[in-house]
Structure 1
């Protein structure tokens, strides 16, 4: 036996893994990473004032983060086969800790931007590692429950992030968003290094430099182009050039992977129909979710003139409900499969989007909270069941590639959804202003902005309808149970 792969091969039964401590390590690290990300979004206005930068510049804190993920996550399928679970877990948290520390003491925008990139490197390593580890140590008939537990933490962190950041910004500086996160990350590192086990078998496939270059150009170009389209406009030469280069790079990358004996990213995963359907449903959800997450705070703070804390508080119930329902949906998935969750869930999401498309400057807070709760209930019924069912169909050797594909395309779909929503918002606002009768009325810009928000939610309705049609074809992947 090769000594380099022996640590991973010592444990040949999933029952011998310390599943609870391993999952706990990932939950702590994932929670604080997502918390700091959404908490910082609420501080963008403060950062613009503190650093004296423009809105298009501060957007790079998000664009740079997404771009780093878009470049590194596709390579994760290769990385997972070269380094042990403990090595990758420790490395990802070291990057997250260093990035968080730099952000906490950042004296300038450039330092904060560098910190965000370093944090993103940690996240790019952690996300595929987390899902791949779950697939390896949890038997298929129990995965819904564990994925539901992951959903509880992953959903709760973005939900409380804006509310807690509003509290922090009311009493302290934005630096404390990172100072509060830092000790938790250190604790996650120490806990993980004590309990984390090596669960994968290292195959160390050949590193193909050209594939890495094409992947970087392809995914990086698309994420960069779409992320900038919302601000710069679709006609901007840099946007057009980036998206075009991205699609060409992606095409060449795909052709190369299909012709290689040992591809960097094994695209055979697309031969499994439930994986493809699950992937598309997750992408639909991410597109709608991330576009809504940028539209709703803008609407609340512009059209309704709410402060950051009040806006975050209004969105808190939906996020909490989503988190609390995730473990329940995981158990229901294990018992009944995805079909009886996904289809009703998509109908609920569609209904909430129709409700959001009717909002105006006089919409009561109760209606907004109810629609947001409905939307998050729908997402809890679709995302984790669709993702788990899709990954369950893959053979063990394709787990790293399947998780890399799913995590990469989530970043791409999120960037596309956000860019399209912002573009529709801007176009709708401009169209209203062009036809407005009384431009001197101070209410006119607010009415115009609200009209743009309504148009952007119609885009979400279209995407949800597409998802609903695809969801009709979802079927349960049969998995082996003990004693079967």
Structure 2
């Protein structure tokens, strides 16, 4: 079997003589603005509908298409990092992202704007796997916690400030400034990476299996597209269940093929390592909880409590920012005390917080909601990166690109499924409440219906958190790669 770029790095490149900090800064700078961009545009949708003269369902492709491209590209990253050097991958991703930003900034119509967003998504989809794979190569297992915690800061902080930052910009400037302001930072990132980013891997150029790429694209693309489309409550529509079924069948064939190939696109033998498998299940639950909560709370704030978009963004900002700021701290604590000291208390804390979320009413104050959101985000920061770092620590070096691609793909798919599923549960609960109401059109009843729907969704989320706590009990500290 061919070794991966990561494995080659261990033998061909002397990591001890590489200055790690400039490389880390280069990666974080580029990743921050590419990830920030994922949530920066959503708040401008009402304005875009008017200016571009498109419907909400058409405009939604700016978000769905973004998620779709990322979901399709991430699985292929395991192959790409073995074909290209660290510099080639990162600079290529940033150049594609920057070109997409330019296209978006000057787009005269919706179709051009969509092309720009898809280019941005292509750059972002390659960014995170490259960053994580580089960290795994640069840092030994006993020091990875702090480095991965720094990545966690970027992953959580960037999308957290997106809605609030775009709200501030749109208060006084048109929507194109969302791209004008990102553009110079993207260019600076390219320049910094060109100067400071060093190669930490050497391409081994394994055989490309075209059929695996096709099955991966259809499989992950179908799943992400189907669940993203179902968020509008169209579960019985052939477009939804048809694409999900086709995607599931393609994934089954993809899995069978990967297990038979000598050089698979995504080496699923990574799942033979128990801590990695445990991490994969934990991250699925966490991403479903995180993405669904970030989608449900704005409905609650605006639909039941009458808050503006900007005000609801501000209310969610402290918790999300704190989650990012705490990630480096939890990373250092992971290096010192191991995963159990963080993951078990974190999941127990999450169970308590999710129970409180099921008790929200229209009388719940904004301060109480703020505290609950902050506590939830803190608990997630105690779980996400420690679990991911511990799982990756058990993998031998040649599995690094595959493990990174698997976890990032699962997170993307779990996020799409979580948003669609929980919003569907919320909508169903809302409809059921209004059917039994004597005055379903009154603002008071509509607010109560929204709360009832959110209760149903958070009740299921509560049971998910219990499952996460049970999984947490099986985590144990991994100090180095397992023997194959």
TM-score for both structures, normalised by structure 1 = 0.95
Give the whole-Å Cα distance in 2 for the aligned partners of 1:82 and 1:414.
29
In structure 1, what is the equivalent of residue 209 of structure 2?
A: 208
In structure 2, what is the equivalent of residue 407 of structure 1?
A: 408
Once the two structures are superposed, the pairs formed by residues 60-139 of structure 1 within 5 Å of their partners are 60-139=61-140
Shift of 1:75: 0.8
Give the whole-Å Cα distance in 2 for the aligned partners of 1:160 and 1:458.
28
In structure 2, what is the equivalent of residue 45 of structure 1?
A: 46
In structure 2, what is the equivalent of residue 342 of structure 1?
A: 343
Alignment length (residue pairs): 476
Shift of 1:10: 8.9
**Please, which moves more after superposition, 423-432 or 294-303?**
294-303
**Please, which moves more after superposition, 453-462 or 67-76?**
453-462
In structure 1, what is the equivalent of residue 153 of structure 2?
A: 152
Shift of 1:384: 0.3
In structure 2, what is the equivalent of residue 424 of structure 1?
A: 425
Give the whole-Å Cα distance in 1 for the aligned partners of 2:61 and 2:288.
19
Q: Is the 8 A contact 1:8 1:84 kept in 2?
A: no
Q: Is the 8 A contact 1:339 1:474 kept in 2?
A: yes
Q: Is the 8 A contact 1:18 1:195 kept in 2?
A: no
Q: Is the 8 A contact 2:66 2:118 kept in 1?
A: yes
Cα shift readout 1:32-72 (whole Å, capped 9, x = no counterpart): 12222212122223223332333322221111111111111
**Please, which moves more after superposition, 311-320 or 380-389?**
311-320
Shift of 1:150: 1.5
Shift of 1:442: 2.8
Give the whole-Å Cα distance in 2 for the aligned partners of 1:177 and 1:349.
34
Residue 468 to residue 360, structure 1, CA distance change in 2 (3 Å): same
Residue 388 to residue 8, structure 1, CA distance change in 2 (3 Å): closer
Q: Is the 8 A contact 1:8 1:202 kept in 2?
A: no
Cα shift readout 1:84-136 (whole Å, capped 9, x = no counterpart): 11111111001110111111122222222111110111011111111000000
Shift of 1:440: 4.4
In structure 1, what is the equivalent of residue 440 of structure 2?
A: 439
Cα shift readout 1:238-284 (whole Å, capped 9, x = no counterpart): 11111111111001011111111111111110000000111211121
In structure 2, what is the equivalent of residue 167 of structure 1?
A: 168
Cα shift readout 1:164-201 (whole Å, capped 9, x = no counterpart): 11111111112111111111111011000111111113
Q: Is the 8 A contact 1:165 1:309 kept in 2?
A: no
1:460 and 2:449 are equivalent in the alignment: no
Where structure 2 has 5 or more consecutive residues not aligned to the other structure, the ranges are none
Give the whole-Å Cα distance in 2 for the aligned partners of 1:53 and 1:156.
31
In structure 1, what is the equivalent of residue 324 of structure 2?
A: 323
TM-score for both structures, normalised by structure 2 = 0.95
Partner of 1:227, secondary structure, is helix
Shift of 1:8: 6.1
Once the two structures are superposed, the pairs formed by residues 178-327 of structure 1 within 5 Å of their partners are 178-327=179-328
